[in-house]
Chains A and B, each alone.
Chain A
Amino acid sequence: MNNSQVILSVRDVYKKFTKDIKHNMYYGIKDILIDPKPNYMTLRKHEFWALQNINFDLYEGEILGIVGANGSGKTSLMRLVSGIYPIETGKILARPGQKITSVFALKAGMQPLFTGRENIHIKGALFGMTKNEIEKKLSFIEEFSELGDKLDVPFGNYSSGMSARLAYTIAIANDPDIFIIDEALAVGDSVFKSKCFEHLKNYVKQPGKGVLFVSNIIHKILRVATRVIVMDEGKIIYESTDIQKALHFYIENCLRHIDPARRQKMLETVEYYDL
């Protein structure tokens, strides 16, 4: 039982999508013109649950790792928590005035024709920062990103590692209460990634802070997460503070369709490369 304060609570959240493009368009126009309040809990033809009965809490001081096979609903869930997708059913609760910052795609919102320094202003503004707030954080961003003169080079010429440095640093400069990192630290060199993980661990020690860390690179989860949620086909199927146990469960779940004779061999292979 966690004695810390809950800072984010997700309750009974569902989200459905449509498999087929034509039905996707048809339901879109039908929901606007014909039936603006459709019964959300009923699946129509070609629809599927992207998220089903999602319930979890994020506690103060936690780095909550979220793992799941591709298409298990991790990013959809993070988009709901961030407010990008509307909530049709269920609730997302947080403390009043709490700042949620999410980093999904590193290059999202960054402008290739503008320098890294100009992009600090652009991305910072996108996170809701004012000009003054960005200028106050400039020296921190320069120092933490360690990009030096490269900040005056067009962002389009940045390597993916450099993009990661800048995007991640701007996000933490925004000083979020709930920080959502969705595969954003998959790139970047080892030194910078280690620095970020150390920073994250210290960051959540501040009052009222928590992190949702979405990744399929499980050895990272093993190093930073304080609790892990495993998702599969839109559902939360496992939750544990024993990170090693949760990750074994996740890998075994990914391999459940493989015949038992090959499963053990595959499990050893995955653990060799991923853990």
Chain B
Amino acid sequence: METTNTNGLTQLYLNDDKSFVGRFIDYARNIKRYSYLLKQLVRIDIVTTYKRTFIGISWLVITPILSVLIWILLHSAGIINPGQTDIPYPVYVLLSTSIWSFFQGSYSITSNIINNSGRFLVSAKFPHEVLIVEQIAVHCINFIIPFLINLLVLILYGIKFSFAALLFPVALIPLLLLGTGIGLLTALLRVVAVDLSRITDQFISFLMFLTPVVFTPKIELAWLANIVKYNPLTYLIGFPRDLLTQGIYSETKIYLVVSLVSFLFFIFCLMIFMKYAGRLLERLIIV
């Protein structure tokens, strides 16, 4: 393809002819080049969320505690039978819902990336990968603060952490990649297939009840036990949870395989998103 004319001008905005590795090198370069924008956007998102509330950042702690209280209430009233847990049920549910919210949050924040930033994206040219990294960073910050409080609760319940617990943040990465991957595909669907994106939203919410979050993997209900067995989230949530509270996990091999698949799935979704997000921007109806 001819890219230079006789006046020494070169063709702008040529991306499709880059190799797979070349594209990822470009993403990394752009993120470095726009690192100051990245910092500014993270600051805006965090400050804007809490600037106009009286109790500010405390909301990060209040929301997960309220949701845990509901599950404890349901459990103590005998409405749910979670199965045998190795650690006290309040600790189990606090930790599991916290890890689940990490997955769901990564889906939610990236699946709205085009719709929420549409006006912004059509008024300034900047690399979309910066926005993806920014959203993930904001999500991680929003996770870390309440999670540290949760750790204090775990200590109060007498949970002792081993050195393996230090690997907990690394063990969450595959979960983040899976949630972000599904989120990026759904972000495209939100522009051109709103019904499908709503189905995905509902499915992700429902998935919590098919994953050992408020019940254990040793559930007695046969059909649910089968779903749990083949649900990749069982391993992506179970591994970091058990690593933190017990320092061991019985199905590490399955976790590693699921992690590899999640990584490959994320790369696939990122490539699709980067290829089509710009094209779908012109189809976006900004409301």
A contact face: mostly helix, strand, loop, or mixed: mixed
| B281 contacts A84, C-beta separation under 8 Å | yes
- A114: chain B residues at CB < 8 Å are 44, 47
Asked if B55 lies at the interface with its beta carbon under 8 angstroms from chain A, I say no
Interface string of A90-131 (1 = CB under 8 A from B): 011111100010101100110101100000011001111111
Partner of B123, one of A15, A28, A109: A109
Q: Smallest Cβ distance from B70 to chain A, in angstroms?
A: 32
- A32: chain B residues at CB < 8 Å are 188, 192, 272, 276
* Complex CA distance for A222 and B268, rounded to whole angstroms: 52
- B34: chain A residues at CB < 8 Å are 125, 128
Partner of B283, one of A6, A24, A87, A94: A24
* Complex CA distance for A93 and B9, rounded to whole angstroms: 5
Interface string of A44-77 (1 = CB under 8 A from B): 0000000000000000000000000000000000
| A95 contacts B9, C-beta separation under 8 Å | yes
Partner of A129, one of B11, B36, B272, B282: B36
| A31 contacts B12, C-beta separation under 8 Å | no
* Complex CA distance for A134 and B36, rounded to whole angstroms: 10
Partner of B10, one of A6, A79, A95, A129: A95
Asked if B33 lies at the interface with its beta carbon under 8 angstroms from chain A, I say yes
- B122: chain A residues at CB < 8 Å are 79, 84, 104
* Complex CA distance for A131 and B34, rounded to whole angstroms: 10
Query: If the complex has contacts A102-B125, A130-B36, are A86 and B279 also in contact, measured as CB distance less than 8 A?
Result: yes
Query: Please, which residue of chain B has its CB at the minimum distance from the CB of A112?
Result: B48
- A96: chain B residues at CB < 8 Å are 10
| B9 contacts A28, C-beta separation under 8 Å | no
* Complex CA distance for A104 and B122, rounded to whole angstroms: 9
Query: If the complex has contacts A28-B191, A92-B13, A108-B120, are A17 and B282 also in contact, measured as CB distance less than 8 A?
Result: yes
* Complex CA distance for A71 and B117, rounded to whole angstroms: 23
| B283 contacts A84, C-beta separation under 8 Å | no
Asked if B18 lies at the interface with its beta carbon under 8 angstroms from chain A, I say no
Asked if A244 lies at the interface with its beta carbon under 8 angstroms from chain B, I say no
Interface string of A1-36 (1 = CB under 8 A from B): 000011111000001011001001111110110000
Q: How many residues of B contact A (CB 8 A)?
A: 43
Partner of B192, one of A28, A113, A127: A28
- B44: chain A residues at CB < 8 Å are 111, 114, 122
Asked if B37 lies at the interface with its beta carbon under 8 angstroms from chain A, I say yes
- A126: chain B residues at CB < 8 Å are 37, 40, 124, 126
Instruction: Sort chain A's interface into a size bin.
Output: 35 or more
| A9 contacts B7, C-beta separation under 8 Å | yes
* Complex CA distance for A243 and B278, rounded to whole angstroms: 36
- A79: chain B residues at CB < 8 Å are 122
Q: Smallest Cβ distance from B135 to chain A, in angstroms?
A: 16
Asked if B5 lies at the interface with its beta carbon under 8 angstroms from chain A, I say yes
**Among A87, A102, A109, residue most surrounded by chain B Cβ atoms (within 10 Å):** A109
- A104: chain B residues at CB < 8 Å are 122-124
- B124: chain A residues at CB < 8 Å are 84, 102, 104, 108-109, 126-127
Partner of A94, one of B9, B47, B119, B276: B9
- A86: chain B residues at CB < 8 Å are 13, 278-279, 282
Asked if A82 lies at the interface with its beta carbon under 8 angstroms from chain B, I say yes
Query: Please, which residue of chain A has its CB at the minimum distance from the CB of B285?
Result: A21
Query: If the complex has contacts A114-B44, A125-B34, are A5 and B282 also in contact, measured as CB distance less than 8 A?
Result: no
Asked if B121 lies at the interface with its beta carbon under 8 angstroms from chain A, I say yes
* Complex CA distance for A153 and B276, rounded to whole angstroms: 39
Partner of A128, one of B8, B48, B126: B126
User: Footprint of B on A, CB under 8 Å?
Assistant: 5-9, 15, 17-18, 21, 24-29, 31-32, 79, 82-87, 91-96, 100, 102, 104-105, 108-109, 111, 113-114, 121-122, 125-131, 134
20 A-B residue pairings within 8 Å (CB atoms): A5-B7, A15-B282, A18-B283, A28-B279, A29-B189, A32-B276, A82-B125, A84-B123, A84-B124, A91-B11, A92-B11, A93-B9, A100-B125, A102-B124, A104-B122, A108-B119, A111-B48, A121-B36, A126-B40, A131-B36
